Amino acid sequence: MGLAPTPVATREFPARAGLEAARRTRGPESPKWGATILFLAPAGLLLLVFLIYPAIYTLLLSFNRGRNGIFNEWVGLDNYARLFANQDFLNFSTFPPSGALWNNVLWLVFYVSIVIFFGLILAVVAARVRYESVLKAIVFIPMAIAATALAVIWKFVYSPDNIGLLNALLGTVGVGPIAWLGDQNIVNFALIAVGIWGSVGFATVILSAAVKSIPAEVIESARVEGANERQIFFRMILPMVSLPISVLAVTLVVNVIKLFDLIYVMTGGGPGKASQVIAFTMYQEAFQAGQWGYGSAVAVIMLVLLTPIMIFNVRRFRAGSVT
Amino acid sequence: MSVLAEGIAGARPRTPAGRAVAALNRTAIHVFLALIGLIWLVPTLGLLVTSLRPRADIQSTGWWDIFNLHLTLENYSQVLQAQGMLQAFLNTIFIAVPSTILPLVICAMAAYAFSWMRFPFRDTLFLIVIGLLMVPVQVAFIPVLIGMRELLPALQLVNGYGAVWLAHTAFALPFGIFLLRNFFITLPPDMIEAARIDGASDVRIFRMIVVPVSVPAIAAYGIFQFLWVWNDLLMALVFVQNSSKFPMTLTIQSLLSQYGTEWHLLAAGAFLLMIVPLIVFFSLQRYFVQGLLAGSIK
């Protein structure tokens, strides 16, 4: 589902990427300013104009009414206060809670854990059969496809009439039909299922590489000494793939915070506002409702949610291990 | 293949009962994996079959009704011509090609500077690039859009492809620079040093040595970026405001909101959107997977 890449070392991209390695590389003794500017200016200019300056502008605009996107009335924290008072954004007064940010929490809990679970199971189990590569390719296909196409595929599967596969299957055992995308209690889980379907292949490929990196002799000798399959999985495989799992988890969390296309195409945030997520709220408030200051506040919340991961990445990189 | 591959077979049970259990386990594994394969294939297959069935059939029976199969390409010709998917297909190409080539060139140049040139604050600047990896595009949308509309109205960026090219290029930079630099610094220093001693300029070293030996890495990143842009909806939604320039993702989205249950159009449209990524995936699977796995989070 148009997933983000993740920092895992492969043969083509070895992991020796820390600053230590960079320091050892030799440039000429004194900087050649002309060449340096030539090589860096295009990237630097674009980053300044399209990323750094706009980020500061958006941060400031979130403290402004921001009519038509310009600074016309400073309102302090009013946009944030309204945002968190808005029950469509976050509502703890009901059980279960609801709102766009809460839906991101649902995604975080179910999508991230189930994708990792399935990915690990498939990585380990598929390694035991001869058709492993075919199976991995099949599960990986959704990764190549646009979220927009995934949305069409699954809207069709979920179709509430007799032509929808899922309701037809349930009909044979006398259940349904269920309005998967029309019921506000079900819609988020129906969407999360699509997200899982789209991402398991990615998890499988990453974890499969990690599982295979465990030396065969280590597992063989454990087996010879009488360890059973369960012990081998929990005591040997799991600890050795914990680092790739944490990297995978970070990538999936980032996907959840940035999640937009699938929701926008599949449900438009509906029924009502039941399946909205934070990136959807940002788009809608800023570009459809014309609430630029308020929309900026939502964007800043997204940035704040991603900041711990930003710090995590920078720290990890400074430590010299991008793995 | 590791010992894991032998799995349960490798345990070699000695008693007949143990062998029976092992066989049962093997069968369970095959059944489980077959089920997984079906769950991952059938939804897409169903849409493919639907895209080839006449409208009347689609409305009356499920696609799995294969005893009544009449195949037609009518849906494709209708969606391509009457619904403008042919234009949208071309628009997607017009958006995706420059939005791949520009970041490739700019990222490779910056990555070279970060790997093989010496200048003040190099490491600090590179840490900033890593930090920018996590900045969501939403944070830049409003100012960039306003800037394009208010400050540069003469350029008509949002009425053409200019805005979306620039936005895709700029937002691709942190990841592309990061990825390519991680590859460039693994090149042997002696190779670069030797060229320098021979008096080669940085431009020459970049063009004649670093780029040619980094083709696999650059290709992997290029494929990743191309598919990213090809599949994108959000950036086009914000930065392409002229409906005659809409890419396929936007056209399908508007088809869906106009004719929510006209599956003959939606199925054919979705397959037109999927066809190029699927070809890329099956023909360049190795590069594709590597591009996706390497580097860091976008």
Q: Residue A301's pLDDT is what?
A: 96
A299 close contact with B: CB closer than 8 A: yes
Yes or no: is domain B78-293 CATH 1.10.3720.10?
Answer: yes
The mean pLDDT value of chain A amounts to 86
Q: How is chain B split into domains, by residue range?
A: 3-77, 78-293
- Minimal C-alpha gap between B213 and chain A (Å): 12
Nearest to B269 by CA among B96, B77, B97: B77
B36:A127 CB<8 A:
no
Strands of chain B, DSSP E: none
Going by C-beta distance under 8 Å and a sequence separation of 6 or more, which residues neighbour residue A25?
B115, B116, B185, B189
Q: pLDDT per residue over A38-51, tens digit each?
A: 999 999 999 999 99
Domain contains A283: no
Q: pLDDT per residue over A208-234, tens digit each?
A: 888 888 888 888 888 888 888 888 888
Going by C-beta distance under 8 Å and a sequence separation of 6 or more, which residues neighbour residue A150?
A1, A142, A194, A197, A198, A262
Domain contains A164: yes
Query: Distance between CA atoms of A204 and A201, rounded to whole angstroms?
Result: 5
The whole domain housing A102 covers 93-275
A64, β-bridge pairs: A74
Looking up tokens 């998917």 gives: B85
The top-scoring range by mean pLDDT among A194-198, A265-269, B45-49, B115-119 is A194-198
Domain contains A42: no
Q: Residue B207's pLDDT is what?
A: 92
Q: pLDDT per residue over A228-250, tens digit each?
A: 888 888 888 888 888 889 889 99
Closest residue in A to B232 (Cα) is A146
Residue in B140, B185, B192 closest to A17 by CB = B185
A296 close contact with B: CB closer than 8 A: yes
Of residues B38 and B4, the one with the higher pLDDT is B38
Task: Sort out which chain A residues have CB atoms less than 8 A from B14's CB and list them.
Answer: none
Is A161 exposed, middle or buried, given 0-12, 13-18 or 19+ CB atoms closer than 10 A?
exposed
> How many of the other CB atoms lie within 10 Å of CB of A102?
20
- Minimal C-alpha gap between B154 and chain A (Å): 18
Number of folded domains that form chain A: 1
At residue B7, the 3 state secondary structure works out as: helix
Domain contains A45: no
Which ipTM did the prediction report?
0.87
B109:A31 CB<8 A:
no
Q: Which amino acid is at A41?
A: A
Do the beta carbons of residue B203 and residue B241 sit within 8 Å?
Answer: no
Half-sphere exposure of A140 (CA within 13 A, CB side): 25
Categorize the per-residue pLDDT at B233 as very low, low, confident or very high, splitting at 50, 70 and 90. Answer: very high
A144:B189 CB<8 A:
no
The top-scoring range by mean pLDDT among A83-87, A109-113, A291-295, B251-255 is A109-113
B234:A156 CB<8 A:
no
Categorize the per-residue pLDDT at B156 as very low, low, confident or very high, splitting at 50, 70 and 90. Answer: low
Looking up tokens 């590791």 gives: B2
